[in-house]
Amino acid sequence: MNRVVTVNDKMQTGYSYVVSELEGENFASEFKPELTPRQLLRLGVFGGVYMRDCRDEFPEDWFEGARLAVDGRDPMLNFFEINASQPLAEWRRKGWIHEQDPRGWFQWYCRYYMGRRLPEEDARQIKRWKNMTRHIGQVRKNCAPGDLVCRRRQRQALLHWAYDSRKL
């Protein structure tokens, strides 16, 4: 099953990784994302600027119907039509970005979903994913069920992390 993927895009050149699992299978037992990368791209995340130059790395069907910006970031392309992202420079400053995934958590998730496994980095990113549940608690505490205009920024941030905040 092992196959090597070599990446050449605007943020990485000559980076290679091994895909050792089947797409969308054999996740760590505590990692249960509610949305796939394909679903996230179709819903609208990251102002439509994410993944535009690295489409060759991922399945074509992930990008069918994806809400991608033509120019710069456009919060209106996000499902909740609000910017819920911090700048990449801030992610770097906080130590959230690692060399193998210079675009951050979502890039890690896409590669993990495709079958790449990096035990130490996977554990770190899954821990970060689990920490997002505090936002679920805030939405539930402060919003009526199904009120999609309540706490739109938190709901959009949860979408970025593959939690389906439309169901809260």
Interval 121-143: pLDDT, tens? 999 999 999 999 999 999 999 99
Q: Regarding predicted confidence, which is higher, 111 or 72?
A: 111
Neighbouring C-beta atoms of residue 12, cutoff 10 Å: 18
Tell me the CA distances in angstroms from 146 to 62, 90, 119, 142, one per residue in order.
27, 32, 37, 12
The answer to whether 101 and 128 are in contact (CB under 8 A) is: no
Closest CA to 69 of 83, 50, 88: 50
How many CB atoms neighbour CB 64 within 10 A? 10
**Two tokens at 43?**
């819903």
State what percent of residues in the chain have pLDDT above 70: 100
47-99 pLDDT, tens digit per residue, is 888 878 888 899 999 999 999 998 888 999 999 999 988 877 887 888 888 88
Q: Residue 118: which pLDDT band, with cuts at 50, 70 and 90?
A: very high
**pLDDT confidence bin for 21, thresholds 50/70/90:** very high
- Over the chain, what is the mean pLDDT? 93
In the chain, the amino acid numbered 10 is: K
- For the chain, the domains span 3-130
As a whole number of angstroms, the distance between CA 100 and CA 17 comes to 9
130-134-140 Cα angle (round to 5): 125
